[in-house]
């Protein structure tokens, strides 16, 4: 699995700056006042730092932006990065600065002169997250990623605050690696084995196989995987860092590949369906983060792992399947399979664990991308305080999330003539009717949030914190939700 780059902190040695190789960076606030390290670099470069800070480019730059001076005279470094950042930045600005610096590392070592700048753990998180690269499938030797060293006034204090930051970066990387992996590598079986590996850091892991799922009555989940050679599974991950309180439950859709089944998808773009397990990937990343930082909370993560393939045994449009809850579902479209996986796992999570609340994540609908693009996940909830707590957590972490409506009127679109409900309600309000379907499997009084992450789990162009591809969206927000609302 991909690990974050090596990142360390040290006291500033002004006399060593001239001979420092690799990429060298220095923080300069908007007003252009230079600290001791910046003054030394300015003198070594014969005023280049001062000229950069006084230039139009610096004036136009937003906080967190970087101006690059290539092959600066007087320095051994290949580049000097002038980082526009307040000495007491907001967390988002500090992360952005770190990410902008990481973009310019180019595989070389980086030394950042941060002086007395605050929020250095946030800046470091930006560096770690943006310096990610998925290279597991390449036959060539991995490209060097370089190491980062941050020079500051109190390195020991900053290092002491870094343990949860590193845990969060590792959780995000775990999610990104899972979402990036091709489906011939990340099968339901290998996915379950990777999750089983979380036992090494204290997560209790239980794998429910098909025979157990049949006994439990998870017929809608099993119906999705009937056309695949890969066995369907449910993996239960428990982190017991709290006292005797009931856990928060996080449930993820884990369709390792989605052809659409008999309602087969068009060939163009089908290769992207390796990411249809994105919800399960986020659950895995959250559980890893909680364990690594030893969160004082009880959280259970459950993922339904299936593959949706066309085959002589595959479920057909028009089939009627009975869920674990006992409701019957008319399958109109076998490509609307994620909700069939989730409904059984959601019911099981409530029946077995009686959680204080449930969050589910799924790359569920293309409709949410039409509505919100790739900037925001769709958020659906039956509980305003619970939903608002998540939205605040997502905003604090810079992970776009937008609340969408629910309402009984949408249920009319799911009405079936021969069963309790249909699995699709047509094109109008497609993401809403999908959420309405899931809500039928949430018990009365149970706080619930559904996150449709189809637009944010994997993107075609780089984001502030990630290169193009898997983003790891949701790991940070859910970790903060736990930290702010469920730890003692």
Residues that are catalytic: 265, 339
Cα dist from 55 to 40, 274, 393, whole Å? 19, 46, 37
Cα dist from 473 to 259, 463, 470, whole Å? 24, 11, 8
SS3 6: coil
Angle at 207 between CA 204 and CA 212, to 5 degrees: 135
Parallel, antiparallel, or unpaired: how do β-strands 377-381 and 401-403 relate? parallel
Give the other-Cβ count within 10 Å of 96's Cβ. 25
CB hemisphere CA count around 303 (13 angstroms): 35
Strand partners, 252: 303, 361
The Cα–Cα gap between 313 and 334 comes to: 13
DSSP state of 150: E
Token pair in block for residue 397: 């972490």
Give the other-Cβ count within 10 Å of 146's Cβ. 17
DSSP-assigned letters across all residues of 434-483: HHHHHHTTS-TT--EEEEE-TTTSEESS--SSS-SEE--TTHHHHHHHHH
Token pair in block for residue 156: 């020991």
The Cα–Cα gap between 280 and 54 comes to: 49
Closest C-alpha among 487, 483, 473 to residue 172: 473
354 φ, ψ (degrees, to nearest 5): 45, 60
Residues, the chain: 488
């Amino acid at each position: 699995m991909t690990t974050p780059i090596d990142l360390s902190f040290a006291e500033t040695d002004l006399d060593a700056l001239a001979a420092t190789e690799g990429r060298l960076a220095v923080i300069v606030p908007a007003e252009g006042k230079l600290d001791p390290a910046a003054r030394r670099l300015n003198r070594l470069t014969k005023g280049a730092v001062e000229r950069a800070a006084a230039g139009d480019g610096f004036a136009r730059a937003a906080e967190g932006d970087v101006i690059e001076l290539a092959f600066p005279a007087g320095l051994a470094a290949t580049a000097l990065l002038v980082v526009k950042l307040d000495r007491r930045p907001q967390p988002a600005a500090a992360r952005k600065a770190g990410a902008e610096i990481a973009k310019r590392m180019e595989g070389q070592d980086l030394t950042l002169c941060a002086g007395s700048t605050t929020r250095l753990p946030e800046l470091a998180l930006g560096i770690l997250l943006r310096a990610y690269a998925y290279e597991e499938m390449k036959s060539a030797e991995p490209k060097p990623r370089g190491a980062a060293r941050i020079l500051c006034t109190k390195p020991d204090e900053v290092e002491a605050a870094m343990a949860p930051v590193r845990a969060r970066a590792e959780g995000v990387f775990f999610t990104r690696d899972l979402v990036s992996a091709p489906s011939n590598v990340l099968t339901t079986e290998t996915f379950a084995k990777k999750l089983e590996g979380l036992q090494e850091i204290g997560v209790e892991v239980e794998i429910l196989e098909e025979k157990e799922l049949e006994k439990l009555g998870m017929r809608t989940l099993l119906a999705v995987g009937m056309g695949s050679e890969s066995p369907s599974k449910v993996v239960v991950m428990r982190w017991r860092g709290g006292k005797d309180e009931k856990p928060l439950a996080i449930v993820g859709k884990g369709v390792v590949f989605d052809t659409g089944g008999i309602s087969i998808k068009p060939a163009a773009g089908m290769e992207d369906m390796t990411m249809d397990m994105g919800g399960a990937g986020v659950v895995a990343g959250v559980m890893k983060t909680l364990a690594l930082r030893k969160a004082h909370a009880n959280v259970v993560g459950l993922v339904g792992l299936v593959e949706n393939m066309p085959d002589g045994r595959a479920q057909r449009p028009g089939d009627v399947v009975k869920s674990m809850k006992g409701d019957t579902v008319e399958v109109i479209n076998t490509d609307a399979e994620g909700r069939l996986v989730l409904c059984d796992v959601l019911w099981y999570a409530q029946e077995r664990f009686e959680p204080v609340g449930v969050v589910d994540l799924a790359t569920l609908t293309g409709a949410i991308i039409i509505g919100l693009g790739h900037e925001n996940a769709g958020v659906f909830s039956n509980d305003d305080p619970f939903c608002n707590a998540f939205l605040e957590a997502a905003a604090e972490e810079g992970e776009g999330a937008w609340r969408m409506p629910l309402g009984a009127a949408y249920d009319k679109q799911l009405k079936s003539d021969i069963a309790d409900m249909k699995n699709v309600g047509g094109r109008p309000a497609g993401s809403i009717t999908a959420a309405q379907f899931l809500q039928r499997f949430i018990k009365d009084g149970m706080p619930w949030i559904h996150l449709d992450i189809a637009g944010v789990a994997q993107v075609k162009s780089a984001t502030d914190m990630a290169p193009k591809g898997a983003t790891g969206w949701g790991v940070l927000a859910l970790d903060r939700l736990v930290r702010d609302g469920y730890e003692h």
